[in-house]
Structure 1
Amino acid sequence: MTLRFSRLTMLLAGSALLCTTLSAQARELSVSTVLSDAFPWGQAAEKWAELVEERSGGELTLRVYPNAQLVSGDQTREFSAMRSGLIDLAVGSTINWSPQVPELNLFSLPFFMRDYAAVDSVTGGEAGKQVFAAIEEGGVVPLAWGENGFRQLSNSKGPIDEPSDLEGLKIRVVGSPLFQDTFEALGANPTQMSWADAKPALTTGAVDGQENPLSVFDVARIDQVGQTNLTLWNYMNDPLVFAANQRVWGSLSAEDQDLLRQAAVDAGEWEIAMTREEEGERRAAITERGVDIVELTEAQHMAFVQATQSVYDTWIDKIGESLVKTARSDMAAN
């Protein structure tokens, strides 16, 4: 009886030790993202978490914190918070991170990348490698690309198909000096404010318009706050970046690093494809809700390009002339 009890005790102790060891091996990392999984951006983060848990057998898990929760809603602080270690991982916007990494303004140069082929040429080319190197020099490890999409222009006043239509319009823009310069060059009155403040301002007419990707316009139902005119002008693109804090990245085994990076690449490719495939459906849904959509002709597009040419003179040096030239070469080669 005593022998059986001793064996049972040893068995239970061994099981407890095994559970403790497995628990010690399991690790949870935080992931910051600005939008929830109602949007492709948030879905990219959730897909990353899903792939990591599946491929690691649950030994490595990612907990997604949407709506910039980890930085109290201030999305412009996300990169700094990740660099300092307050955030382990993020799926972040090139716009939001550009104050800390000036090279990311490459994607915000007005009318620089006309279509998705141009974007893919840059992110997948030599310029993309240089941008990733700049992010890493800034204290964060970039892993893969995602996509928030081309930003389109909406307003409550009327159709916009030439620069003069923007004269005097109050347009809500994100907190980036490059956006300020772009809309001032077009004769508009750009107003920087958070998205939390933007919807009430659009509702009351305190601002006349805003710019966002088609997915955001659709999911957030921006047409419900008086935005009944939408111009598809692809004036800039906002790639997303899957990234990690350097200390956290360095604490992972080589195997876990490979797993985390490949899961990010796969999640990014999945999200990019999904975002682009859904654009036709979103456009149809927006039209059905009574929004008038303008798509620029070649001549109209060139009028906007010429009107914003002065912005290049201001920003090429800040971004890096060599990087801009490399991006042009990447696009020309493809």
Structure 2
Amino acid sequence: MTRRMPILVAAALSAGLVTEAMAVEWNASLWGSRRAFTEHVEKLAELVAEKSGGEFTINVSYGGLSKNTENLDGISIGAFEMAQFCAGYHRDKNPSITVLELPFLGVSTLEEEVAVSHAVYAHPAVAADLGRWNAKLLMTSPMPQYNIVGTGEPRDELAEFDGMRVRATGGLGQAFSAVGAVPTSVTATEAYQAMESGVVDTVSFAQHAHLSFRTIDEADWWTENLNPGTVNCPVVVNTDAYAALSDEHRAILDESVPEAIDYYLENYGALLDRWEEVLAEKGVEKVTISEDQLAEFRKIAADPIRETWIADMSAQGLPAQELYDLVMDTLEQTRAGN
């Protein structure tokens, strides 16, 4: 028995080292604070930890790891394993997914946004585009159509957009520019200060962001039906970190994505239900844009911006028309399935 003790001790120590080696800890870089926009990442972390028995954990950080405009760069060098970013923050770094930020695509529900985003993410050209940054697209952060809050007199005609200083990024910024507005791409975390100081007159956001970044607190009015489009904000993982996962942990991560998205949709739906109460509480006037004005906006912004995007992206070697058609076909199939 005495002679066997060193063997037993060595075996126990070895088992401990194996268990320790199996434990995987990831860091996820987000920004702002926990909100509806980040609930799927929080849920994913919860599911992964639960299903792995605590052997695979994801630490969610809000601004402690990187600036929101530099998350893709952080992923590329392996500074962290997971990150969220918005395509409009750096269109040149992720040109393929900017198809999802074209104005007036016609996406009307969060479920449709998930379907078209994930279809685009699965396209080989898109995977290769993000692969340049050592990034693997994991899931979208579906948001409803953007609408603007503003100060002063409500603007309900396109002529009143002329000279309007609006916080809008990506395709939305191009759309507003087409009708004479002056877009600025300040980040979400800078939007309130820009509005408070008068740098911008209006801010274009989805509802959760108007709440989270407090632009609703400065608002006198909100456009309830402008619906020019939305911003696409993927969650990506570092490809090396993903490849290094065990088969079990990789399967846990992948299978947890649909559950995390479902939770996100349920949670965001509850926020939209409360939106009317928020407007009433804060005394924000709802502004309705007439159908004639909306049709004019689409005529001026939608077709020209789309055609320019297709030409520019094709010149960069991307299958631009194919990506746009993929969005339209997926939207049609999703509606038919419902």
TM tier, smaller: 0.7 to 0.9
Which is richer in strand? Answer: 1
Kept in 2: contact 1:33–1:41 (CA 8 A) = no
Q: Does 1:24 align with 2:21?
A: yes
Q: What do you get for the CA RMSD once the two structures are aligned?
A: 2.6
Deviation, 1:111, is: 1.3
Q: Does 1:279 align with 2:272?
A: yes
Find the partner of 2:117 among 123, 134, 138: 123
Kept in 1: contact 2:150–2:202 (CA 8 A) = yes
Deviation, 1:27, is: 1.4
Kept in 1: contact 2:40–2:260 (CA 8 A) = yes
Q: Does 1:66 align with 2:58?
A: no
2:180 match? 187
Judging changes above 3 Å, is the alpha-carbon distance between structure 1 residues 92 and 261 closer, same or farther for their aligned structure 2 residues?
Answer: farther
Runs of at least 4 residues of structure 1 off by over 4 A? 6-17
Unpaired stretches in structure 2, ≥5 consecutive residues? 314-319
Deviation, 1:84, is: 2.2
Aligned partners of 2:28 and 2:287: how far apart in 1?
37
Amino acid at match of 1:27: V
Deviates more, 1:48-57 or 1:205-214: 205-214
2:323 match? 323
Aligned partners of 2:197 and 2:72: how far apart in 1?
32
Kept in 1: contact 2:161–2:181 (CA 8 A) = yes
Kept in 1: contact 2:166–2:202 (CA 8 A) = yes
1:134-183 CA deviation, whole Å, 9 max, x = no partner?
Answer: 55543311222332332211110222333212111111234x4x444322
Aligned partners of 1:224 and 1:124: how far apart in 2?
34
- TM-score normalised to the size of structure 2? 0.85
Deviation, 1:223, is: 2.7
Find the partner of 2:31 among 26, 30, 34: 34
SS in 1 for 2:140: strand
2:316 match? none
Amino acid at match of 1:326: L
Amino acid at match of 1:236: G
Q: Does 1:299 align with 2:295?
A: no
1:175-206 CA deviation, whole Å, 9 max, x = no partner?
Answer: x4x44432211211122323343322211223
Deviation, 1:56, is: 0.5
Kept in 2: contact 1:218–1:286 (CA 8 A) = no
Find the partner of 1:45 among 27, 38, 41: 41
Find the partner of 2:165 among 150, 162, 170: 170
Kept in 1: contact 2:69–2:85 (CA 8 A) = no
Deviation, 1:297, is: 4.5
Trace 1:1-334 onto structure 2 (pairs within 5 A): 15-37=12-34, 39-67=35-63, 69-71=64-66, 73=67, 75-96=68-89, 98-116=91-109, 118-123=112-117, 125=119, 127-130=120-123, 132-138=126-132, 139-174=134-169, 176=170, 178-225=171-218, 227-232=219-224, 233-308=226-301, 309-319=303-313, 320-333=320-333, 334=335
Kept in 1: contact 2:167–2:184 (CA 8 A) = yes
Aligned partners of 1:199 and 1:220: how far apart in 2?
6
Amino acid at match of 1:36: S
- TM-score normalised to the size of structure 1? 0.86
Aligned partners of 2:243 and 2:329: how far apart in 1?
34
Judging changes above 3 Å, is the alpha-carbon distance between structure 1 residues 80 and 70 closer, same or farther for their aligned structure 2 residues?
Answer: same
SS in 1 for 2:234: strand
Judging changes above 3 Å, is the alpha-carbon distance between structure 1 residues 247 and 120 closer, same or farther for their aligned structure 2 residues?
Answer: closer
Deviation, 1:118, is: 4.4
SS in 2 for 1:278: helix
Q: Give the fraction of aligned pairs with identical amino acids, expressed as a percent.
A: 21
1:41-79 CA deviation, whole Å, 9 max, x = no partner?
Answer: 222221111111000001111111113x322x2x22211
